[in-house]
């Protein structure tokens, strides 16, 4: 709801499970986001799942700020609000069109959770102007189910993480107590809105147009947790969703206090997870181990489409 161009949701912010209750027109909450929308980069992105990036790339818009506190974060400059440029809703809509003109298969809203009131209005306005590309919400899943519910009819593809099922790990590594319960409820609402995956294109290039793809990034020493997550997802949603099992965990050089995760995932760990998923009957993307490389981390320069 807006009043004189102000969003009431920002005046007492409870968009995520932290429920800071801060007035973002006056100060920032845990996510380091004010009421002014900020982005760090907007560009074609080729490192998503094949049905997302396709041959022409996903039109990714990286938003500044994050309500998680992951010690292993690769994008800490933007997640903690160090870089980024303020933009208006009108400028964001222009960026949608610019990415479309570059050939993007979709518009990929990365860590947009903290700006949902303005995101909703931007999508509605773009649709009223005739914009047709699918919109993706690329999220950590640390958000309230009611926040997801407010996006019904606006988001075509949900691309959520399911990071943890053990709360001791979400608290230790992401400062996110209660993550699993929040993520499970949020993902369930996403699946309610998009209960099946719809593709277009040829056998050589099938592009997702609607659906839910749940990601899990395998972390070192957490194979049992990863298997529990896959089991929970498959038992809850079956083939309604796709499960993407990622192996490209890369230590970020700031993990002296967490030596147990200060290494890459081994081939044996990843193979064990893949076998587990296959034995359960999971359909998904089994990403090559070779993708564990810092070259997959984009440079956040607010250049190009974000300028």
Q: Where residue 227 sits, what CATH number does that domain have?
A: 3.20.20.70
Q: How far apart are CA 19 and CA 144, in angstroms?
A: 9
Q: What is the pLDDT of residues 186-236, one digit of tens each?
A: 999 999 999 999 999 988 899 999 999 999 999 999 999 999 999 999 999
Instruction: Please indicate, yes or no, if residue 298 is contained in any of the structural domains.
Output: no
Instruction: Please indicate, yes or no, if residue 15 is contained in any of the structural domains.
Output: no
Q: How far apart are CA 269 and CA 224, in angstroms?
A: 10
Tokens of 99: 């990415």
Number of domains in the chain: 1
Instruction: Please indicate, yes or no, if residue 5 is contained in any of the structural domains.
Output: no
Instruction: Please indicate, yes or no, if residue 262 is contained in any of the structural domains.
Output: yes
**Locate tokens 């845990």: which residue?**
30
Residues 111 and 65: beta-carbon distance below 8 Å: yes
Tokens of 253: 């050089």
- DSSP state for residue 264 in the 8-state scheme: P
Residue 131 domain boundaries: 37-292
Instruction: Please indicate, yes or no, if residue 93 is contained in any of the structural domains.
Output: yes
Instruction: Please indicate, yes or no, if residue 25 is contained in any of the structural domains.
Output: no
Torsions phi, psi for 113 (to 5 deg): -50, -40
At 300 the pLDDT is: 42
Q: CA nearest 246: which of 206, 298, 207, 285? A: 285
Instruction: Please indicate, yes or no, if residue 73 is contained in any of the structural domains.
Output: yes
At 218 the pLDDT is: 97
Comparing 63-77, 84-98, 213-227, the range with the smallest average pLDDT is 63-77
Global pTM?
0.93
Burial of 277 (0-12, 13-18, 19+ CB in 10 A): buried
**Locate tokens 């998923």: which residue?**
277
- Terminal Cα distance for the chain, rounded: 28
**Average pLDDT of the segment spanning 158-181:** 97
Q: What is the pLDDT of residues 232-275, one digit of tens each?
A: 999 999 999 999 999 999 998 889 999 999 999 999 999 999 99
At 213 the pLDDT is: 97
For the CA atoms of 249, 251, 254, 256, the dihedral, rounded to the nearest 10 degrees, stands at 110
Instruction: Please indicate, yes or no, if residue 46 is contained in any of the structural domains.
Output: yes
DSSP letters, 183-203, are: HHHHHHHHHHHS-S-EEEE-S
């Amino acid at each position: 709801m807006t009043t004189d161009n102000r969003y009431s949701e920002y005046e007492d912010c409870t968009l995520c499970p932290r429920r800071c209750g801060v007035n973002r027109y006056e100060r920032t909450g845990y996510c380091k986001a004010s009421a002014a929308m900020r982005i760090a980069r907007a560009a074609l992105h080729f490192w998503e799942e094949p049905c997302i990036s396709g041959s022409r790339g996903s039109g990714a818009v990286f938003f500044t700020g994050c309500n998680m506190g992951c010690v292993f974060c690769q994008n800490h400059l933007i997640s903690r609000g160090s870089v980024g440029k303020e933009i208006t809703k009108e400028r964001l809509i222009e960026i949608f069109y610019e990415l479309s003109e570059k050939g993007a298969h979709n518009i990929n809203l990365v860590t947009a959770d903290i700006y949902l009131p303005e995101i909703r209005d931007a999508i509605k306005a773009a649709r009223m102007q005739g914009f047709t590309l699918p919109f993706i919400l690329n999220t950590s899943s640390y958000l309230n189910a009611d926040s997801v519910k407010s996006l019904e009819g606006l988001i075509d593809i949900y691309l959520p993480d399911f990071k943890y099922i053990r709360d001791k790990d979400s608290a230790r590594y992401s400062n996110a107590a209660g993550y699993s319960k929040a993520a499970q409820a949020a993902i369930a609402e996403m699946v309610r809105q998009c209960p099946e995956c719809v593709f277009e294109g040829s056998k050589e290039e099938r592009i997702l147009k609607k659906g839910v793809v749940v990601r899990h990034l395998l972390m070192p020493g957490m194979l049992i947790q990863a298997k529990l997550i896959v089991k929970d997802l498959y038992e809850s949603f079956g083939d309604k969703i796709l499960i993407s099992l990622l192996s490209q965990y890369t230590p970020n050089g700031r993990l002296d206090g967490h030596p147990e995760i200060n290494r890459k995932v081994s081939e044996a760990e990843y193979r064990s997870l893949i076998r587990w998923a296959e034995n359960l009957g999971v359909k998904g993307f089994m990403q090559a181990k070779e993708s564990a490389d810092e070259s997959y981390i984009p440079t956040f320069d607010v250049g190009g489409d974000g300028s």
